[in-house]
Amino acid sequence: MYLRLVRFTLSEGNASYADVMAKELISAVKEQPGCLSAVFFGGGDDGESGLCVLWDTQEHADAAVEIIGPRLQGHLAGKVNGQPEARLFPVLESYPPL
């Protein structure tokens, strides 16, 4: 199992856009093969937000980047401070067990 974590900071005046992103991206992510769970977090006044997805295999996680990545970049264009940070981690243990 693998966890993809993407973090970014929405620029001033764009924090409320997190709701739009959350609905569209979670809907798209959950349809990808191998998606076990997806969470969009943040949306507060500070703009700190992100996406966390559990995948069954690294292959499915990597394949999803090709589909979800461009959609995410489209949402973030002109709306973030700095570059988003994206990482893929192997899951060592989870609760509840998946």
Residue 18 belongs to a domain: yes
Joined together, the tokens standing for residue 58 give 């690294």
Rounded Cα gap, residues 65 and 53, in angstroms: 11
Residue 96 lies in a domain: no
Structural domain including 67 reads 2-90
Answer whether 89's CB lies under 8 Å from 5's CB: yes
Q: Is 97 a member of any domain?
A: no
In a domain, 72, yes or no: yes
The number of domains in the chain is: 1
On whether residue 98 sits in a domain, the answer given is no
CA distance 35 to 74: 21
Q: Where are the alpha helices (DSSP H) in the chain?
A: 18-30, 58-76
Instruction: Tokens for 21, please give them.
Output: 């992103």
- Structure confidence at residue 74 (pLDDT): 96
Tell me: the pLDDT tens digits for 19-54?
999 999 999 999 999 999 999 999 898 999 999 999
Structure confidence by residue, pLDDT tens digits, 57-86:
999 999 999 999 999 999 999 999 999 999
Calpha distance 85→26 (Å, rounded): 18
- Which is nearest to 50 in space by CA: 25, 77, 14? 25
The CATH number of the domain holding residue 23 is: 3.30.70.100
Residue 3 pLDDT: 98
Is residue 19 a part of any domain in this protein?
Answer: yes
